[in-house]
Chain A
Amino acid sequence: MVMNIFKHIYMPVLAVALFCASNLSAQNEPKESDYYRITTVAVPEGVLLEAGGVQVLQDGSVAIATRRGDVWFIENPTMEGGTQPSFKKFASGLHEPLGLAFKEGSLYTVQRGELTKLTDLDGDRVADSYETIYAWPISTNYHEYSYGPVIAPDNSFFVSTNVGFEGQEWWRGQSLVPWRGWMFNITEDGKMTPWATGMRSPAGYGLIDDELFYTENQGDWVGSGGLWHLPKGAFTSNPAGLKWAGHPDSPVKISEEEFYANIDKRQVILNGRYVKPANIENEEDPDFVYEMKEKFPQIQLPSVILPHGILGISNSQLIVDKSMGKFGPFEGQVFIGDQGQSKIMRVVLEKVKGEYQGVAFDFRQGFQSGVMRMDYDQNGNLFVGETNRGWGSAGPKNSGLEYLTWTGKMPFEMKSVKSKADGFEVEFTKPVDRESAEDLDSYLGKSYIYKYHAVYGSPQTNLEEAKVKGVKVSDDGLKVRIVMDNMRQFYVHEFNLEGVKDAEGTGILHPSFYYTLNNIPEGTKLPVSELSTKRSSAQAKPKKIVKKQISKAVVKKEEVLSDAEIGRLLTRNTCNACHQKDKRVVGPSFQAVAKRNYSNEKIVELIYNPQPKNWPEYATPMAPMPQVPRDQALKIAAWINSLK
């Protein structure tokens, strides 16, 4: 959740709808809302639903735990037949609860310092008993959020805890008291067992196939947010929690000394003051987490990286679609919320060489506030509890409750992507148009990795274009094999399939996929003879060329692209998740940027090296965007300056 977040960095997402101008050229293009409808639940005036927990109950009511310490029961939350929901305060006075779970007639919630069982003893839907199941130490640092619980397969509870930030090294996450930055397990009778560490801001976690997974936010020692598998004894990313690895109960056996003997802590004192570590540009031999894993096998690599700024900036809860088709074609897949970008992403996992890895897509944006917690009702509606908690969000509100419903229409999407020995196999929800799918120009790919260092976040590093050798479309048109030359283990492989159309000529609703390739599977490689290697750019196709000219033509400084033209650039470079033309979102509007009277070159420089201190009234600092090509950045800058 938010909490990452603390100083999370904003960056853009694919967010066409946010950018009003892009609609001009896309009147008839399919929209997310054609397939997934967002309905806002009306909240009584004076009730602040800064959601920390969402739990659908058997009767269709939804329970919401809020930052204000209340638990609300909302009857008739779907407002079926145009009827009103009713709100009842089930509990109050809790210390910033950040989760809810229902078990055997009671609701369980995690407050800052304890796991609490809330029970209505007399049937009036008001909790009478606030029983402490287990209380843990907490240093009283503001960032020490505690999340959960999630109920384990054995009916015990998982609880996760944030690190704290304080003192001279305010940028370095610290585990100030035992088990901060940890996941632990608690039994109903109050027995606590530490489970895993490396957590920095583990707001979202849950079970996938009865295995524990969690999401992490970009931060110190976390290059990008993502999804991690958490078997017992795992160490993931931020080393603060290793402070307690020597404790007899610790299942993680990596000492801080060993850890920092193998990687630079970046703890420097100059003139008596600590120096905040910064990204080293053009670093010769940056560290990567997979290298550390060679020394410390307990390190768990991210199963799926959610590239920061593209697939969220502050990942929150994960949930598996078990609606048996009521929620659309993605049964069994994983949905992950994001607070800052107020949207939901979709993830498909597979196990390769015994480890989880997989693919992530954009799924649905446009929520009114940060997406924090989610739960399905029995009709396949996905309830979304929202808050931005002082960190700002793309959704303009500070809190609320919405639900997401499949409209019944089938979107044209990549249903899943699986890794192969020689590339990837993409499965679609509808058959593809063979001509467009056999055109290699429809597949723009690249791969990159994130550094593992004490710095807050990491740029995409070791960027390389994917060399697509050929593709093979299956006979039923539902699958495409992408065969490539330069697969790179441990790297994110990002592909844009904008050119692929369905039978009606419609493009993919979310045309990019992001596959984290922790292992390259064994298996047969397709012979070149079976592959299509056509490229439409090799022939003369006026339409396509026009498009290319937009992005590649040399534009003179004074020549400014139209809003519609620039929209594609803003989308491709993910600018418009955080910026709109004339409205403040996560970041300032482009018009507000224009008012600063920067030169075009200065704007380009600021895209590469943002100066968040120039915008102190924005809660979320912008991340450096070195991946934006300079010619495109210049065009964007010229357009911004035309808005004065």
Chain B
Amino acid sequence: MRILLCAVVIAFANSVMAQTQLSLENLDDFKPQAGNWQIVGDVVMNRQVDVHYKPEPTADSKKKKKKKDVVEELQAVTFTAGTGILLNINNKEKKDKLITDWEHGDIELELEVMMPKGSNSGIYLQGRYEIQLLDSWGVKSPKFTDIGGIYQSHGNDYSKKMIGIPPTTNAAKAPGLWQKMKIHFQAPRFDAAGNKIKNAKFVSVDLNGVRIHTNADVTLPTGGPISGEEVAMGPLVIQGDHGPVAIKNIKYKLLADSKVEMNGLTFKSYHGEFKGIEEFENEKPVKEGSTSLIDVSLAGDEDNYALIFSGSLVIPETDEYTFSVGYTGGVKFVLNNETIVENLSSSAQGNSSETLKLNSGTYPFTIYNYKSAEWRASRLGLSIKGNNSNKKSFHQYDSYPEKPSSVSPIFVNAEQKPRLLRAFVSFEGSKKLSHTIGVGTPDGLNYVYDLNSANLIGVWRGDFVDATPMWHNRGNATFEPRGAVQWTFLNQPLAELSSEESPFPDKADFADFKPKGYVLDKASGLPVFKHIYKGVEIENKVVADASETYLIHEVAFSQSNLSNWYYKVADGNIRKMPDGSYAINDQQYYVNVLSGQVPKIRTIDNVQELVLPVDGSKIKYEIIW
């Protein structure tokens, strides 16, 4: 057996695992189609224009409706030439689905999708299993026909029918905004005779950062497949006959079952209270032998033991591989004479991963494990996941069982009245803020307001918050929003500036800024936030729009004739839309000023800001996502 000894072979991968990204410079990755699909450089969808797609128009209105569709689609979608975005604009003649010229089995797929109002499409994994795309903005109880739904199969014979699976929550954004979708799909499995032995499965589906499916089996192809026959490999298909859709940033990893093999696995076990590897590695083992899988029970004791497993790994193809070692006690994993994972405390517990680029070949490895910690169950596991292969475990199940948390979550919901709750909140999931309050409404419109800066910092629809982190055991004083949060920006949006070009202060200036809490509006139960800035009393109010789909933020001042005061409505990349509203951060959300001040887009430190002059009259703007 030839063993690769070159140190270069093992290189720690310092980037995220590579994915394949479709270039979208041309349509070469796809099969020819009628021409409804094209590559464009920029797409703008007018969120006000409904493409009025009706999947089953009545016979007598059919002709008329379709004609109208075409006209309105032209208004709904505009684009410029270029590359990077895949755009479908279908009509009566051109309405082909888009089929990749490659096929996949197991796959991790990511993309961003934009749809005009009323449009409909779908992503078919293997051309057979559809995740629905629909303008489902504002839908309160999503069905399987809404965006993120796993569509049902056709037909009425329930013995052969796959019932549709709605998303667990509606994470949809407004028409014309980019929405992120992540799909981890597992293809069906077949035996040698070609009989299906395992269903296709959506391991996970995330929409706009919210998990909407987990381990959902799909027993049959869903409605409108390229074929009713289930297979190991099939193309990715995007529906093209139900309305306009734009897609970009298509990235994927094709996963096959791992062909990594473990050979010649032997073990040695030792008994004693070991604090380090040197205390046992040259001793005489209590027991030794060969074994097929790593198994901590070979230690022969629950505690005060040591184990050495040695063998070789056969790496079938050059790729990046992630090694995960789960353990209690001390552990050291050595591959090809390099230490990959190390935790030398005999009472430790953990799961450590490292990603390495490996050429195909055979690599010797050794795992040392020693535990002197009777309060910890003995555990040892090793699994390996290739960049293009599924995870494969090389241990007995009981040696490192997967264990879910058994803590009952503490959810907080708005019932008949708005629900307010203060907590620390992590802005964009990372920057923890201290003086924040969440407000949830019975309409399912929720937001987080920062009392330290008097700023609306995040909005989401759906369930309110998960307070388990705050209230379980000792807690960490934070809650987590239970939906797809559209974060805005940090720090005080209101400031007196020395000139129109001066930057806003980058944190609340407490000499000038005094939070005053809030008063609950008797009728609505919603808070009116109060603070004082430079002696002016200011009230902030956030209410639902008439359709109860998005929020309207109002800021009122106790004084008029203010000069050199400015209010920042948004920052990031800002684009003025045809309807007069502004799309923020590459069409992540919209703001639309209702109160008459003329917004100005200015650039400070290479960041665009949408700024309103403040004279003391009320500011009112919509935040639409």
**Across the interface, do B517 and A142 meet the contact criterion of CB distance under 8 Å?**
no
What is the total number of residues of chain A having a CB less than 8 Å from a CB of chain B?
39
CA distance A614 to B475 in the complex (A): 23
CA–CA, A269 and B461, complex, Å: 49
Query: Is there an interface contact between B434 and A139, defined as CB atoms closer than 8 Å?
Result: yes
Surface stretch bound by A, among B201-209, B238-246, B383-391, B419-427: B419-427
Instruction: Give the complex CA separation of A619 and B475 in angstroms.
Output: 13
Q: How far, in whole Å, are A69 and B437 apart by their CA atoms in the complex?
A: 12
The answer to whether B422 touches A135 (Cβ under 8 A) is no
Q: When the two chains form their complex, are residues A95 and B422 in contact, meaning their CB atoms are under 8 A apart?
A: yes
B451 within 8 A of A: yes
Partner of A122, one of B373, B452, B473, B522: B522
CA distance A578 to B475 in the complex (A): 24
Question: Are A131 and B477 in touch, CB under 8 angstroms?
Answer: no
Decide if the interface of chain B is mainly helix, strand, loop or mixed: strand
Of B373, B434, B472, B514, the residue contacting A190 (CB under 8 A) is B514
Interface residues of A: mostly helix, strand, loop or mixed?
A: loop
**What is the chain B residue whose CB lies nearest that of A144?**
B477
Tell me which of A68, A132, A140 contacts B451 (CB under 8 A).
A132
* Cβ-defined contact, A128 with B522, below 8 A: yes
Chain B's nearest CB lies how many Å from the CB of A599? 15
- Alpha-carbon gap, A616 to B376, bound state (A): 9
Is the C-beta of B519 less than 8 angstroms from some C-beta in chain A?
yes
| A91-105 interface bits toward B, Cβ cutoff 8 Å, 1 = contact, 0 = none | 011111000000000
A93 touches B422 (CB 8 A): yes
A205 interface residue per 8 A CB criterion: no
Q: Report how far A208 CA is from B68 CA in the complex, Å.
A: 82
**Cα distance A122–B515 when bound, in Å?**
23
B435 touches A142 (CB 8 A): no
Contacts of B474 in A (CB 8 A): 6, 142, 389-391
Given A95-B477, A96-B477, A613-B347, answer yes or no on A132-B434 (Cβ-Cβ < 8 Å): no
**A316→B451 CA distance, assembly (Å):** 30
Residue of A nearest to B520 (CB): A128
Q: CA–CA, A122 to B519, complex, Å?
A: 12
- State in angstroms the CA–CA spacing of A117 and B375 once bound together: 47
* Partner pick for A68 among B433, B434, B435, B471, CB 8 A cutoff: B471
Determine if B111 is an interface residue (Cβ-Cβ < 8 Å). no
For the complex formed, measure the closest distance between the CB of A620 and the CB atoms of chain B, giving whole angstroms.
Answer: 11
A615 within 8 A of B: yes
Interchain nearest-CB distance for B444 vs A (Å)? 18
Of B451, B470, B519, B520, which one neighbours A135 at CB under 8 angstroms?
B451
- Nearest-neighbour CB distance to chain B for A481, whole angstroms, equals 48
What is the bound-complex CA distance between A377 and B388, given in angstroms? 70
Does B337 sit within 8 A of A, measured CB to CB? no
Please pick, from A93, A96, A138, the residue contacting B470 in the complex, using a CB distance under 8 A.
A96
One digit per residue, 1 when the CB lies within 8 angstroms of any chain B CB and 0 when it does not, for chain A 116-140 equals 1100011000011111100101111
A92 to B439 alpha-carbon distance, docked (Å): 12
Distance to closest chain B CB from A119 (angstroms): 9
A614 vs B347: C-alpha distance when bound (angstroms): 11
Q: B518 contacts the other chain (Cβ, under 8 Å)?
A: yes
- Chain A min CB distance to B425 (Å): 9
The answer to whether A226 has its CB under 8 Å from any CB of chain B is no
Closest A-chain residue to B474, C-beta based?
A390
**Residue numbers in B under 8 Å from A389 (CB-CB):** 474
Chain A, range 73-122, C-beta contacts under 8 Å to B: 92-96, 111-114, 116-117, 121-122
B375, A613: Cβ atoms closer than 8 Å: yes
Interchain CA distance A160-B451 in the complex, whole Å: 21
Which residues in window 458-478 of B have CB below 8 A to A? 470-478
Pairwise interchain contact B519-A129, C-beta atoms closer than 8 A: yes
- Is residue A493 contacting chain B, with contact meaning CB distance below 8 A? no
Determine if B476 and A142 form an interchain contact, defined as CB atoms under 8 angstroms apart: yes
Chain A residues near B472 (CB-CB < 8 A) = 390
Q: How far is the CB of A444 from chain B (nearest CB, A)?
A: 38
Nearest CB on A from B371, distance (A):
13
Chain A residues near B374 (CB-CB < 8 A): 614
Residue of A nearest to B349 (CB): A616
- The yes or no answer to B432 lying at the interface (CB within 8 A) is yes
Bound Cα distance A139, B520 (Å): 28
Contact A129 B517 (CB under 8 A): yes
Chain A residues lying within 8 Å of B517, measured Cβ to Cβ, are 114, 116-117, 129-132
Assuming A95-B477, A96-B470, A140-B432, is B422 touching A131 (CB within 8 A)?
no
Instruction: Give every chain B residue within 8 A of A96 (Cβ-Cβ).
Output: 470, 475, 477
State the CA gap A128–B523 with chains docked (Å).
11
Q: Does A343 contact B (CB under 8 A)?
A: no
Q: Is A510 an interface residue (CB 8 A)?
A: no
- Inside 8 A of B478's CB, which chain A residues have their CB? 140
| Interface set, chain A 599-620, CB cutoff 8 A to B | 613-616, 619
How distant is B428 from chain A, measured CB to nearest CB, in Å? 15
Counting CB contacts under 8 A, is B67 at the interface?
no
| Residues on the B chain within 8 Å of A69, using CB | 421-422
Task: Check if B435 sits within 8 Å of A114, measured CB to CB.
Answer: yes
B471→A140 contact, CB < 8 A? no
Most chain B Cβ neighbours within 10 Å, of A94, A132, A390: A132
> CA separation between A92 and B423, bound complex, in Å?
12
The answer to whether B435 touches A113, judged by C-beta atoms less than 8 angstroms apart, is: yes
Contacts of A391 in B (CB 8 A): 474
Contact (Cβ within 8 A) B424 A93:
no
Asked if A67 is at the interface of the complex by the 8 Å CB criterion, the answer is: yes
Closest to A116 in B: B517
* Nearest-CB residue, chain B, relative to A132: B517
Chain A contacts for B62, CB-based, 8 A: none
Bound Cα distance from A619 to B520, whole angstroms: 39
Residue B65, interface by CB 8 Å: no
A117 to B516, CA, bound (A): 10
A390 lies within 8 A of B473 (CB): yes
What are the residues of chain B within 8 A of A114 when measuring CB–CB?
A: 435, 515, 517
Q: Would you give the shortest CB distance from B424 to chain A, in whole angstroms?
A: 5
* Residue among B424, B437, B472 facing the most chain A CB atoms (10 A cut-off): B424
Binding site for B on A (CB under 8 A): 6, 67-69, 92-96, 111-114, 116-117, 121-122, 127-132, 135, 137-140, 142, 144, 190, 389-391, 613-616, 619
- What are 7 of the A-B contact pairs (CB < 8 Å)? A67-B471, A69-B421, A114-B515, A130-B517, A132-B451, A140-B424, A142-B476
| Given A93-B422, A130-B517, A190-B514: 19 more A-B contacts, CB < 8 Å | A67-B471, A93-B420, A94-B422, A95-B477, A96-B470, A112-B477, A114-B517, A122-B522, A129-B517, A129-B520, A130-B518, A132-B516, A137-B434, A142-B475, A142-B477, A391-B474, A613-B347, A614-B374, A616-B376
Among all A-B residue pairs, the 4 with the closest Cβ atoms: A93-B420, A95-B422, A390-B474, A390-B473
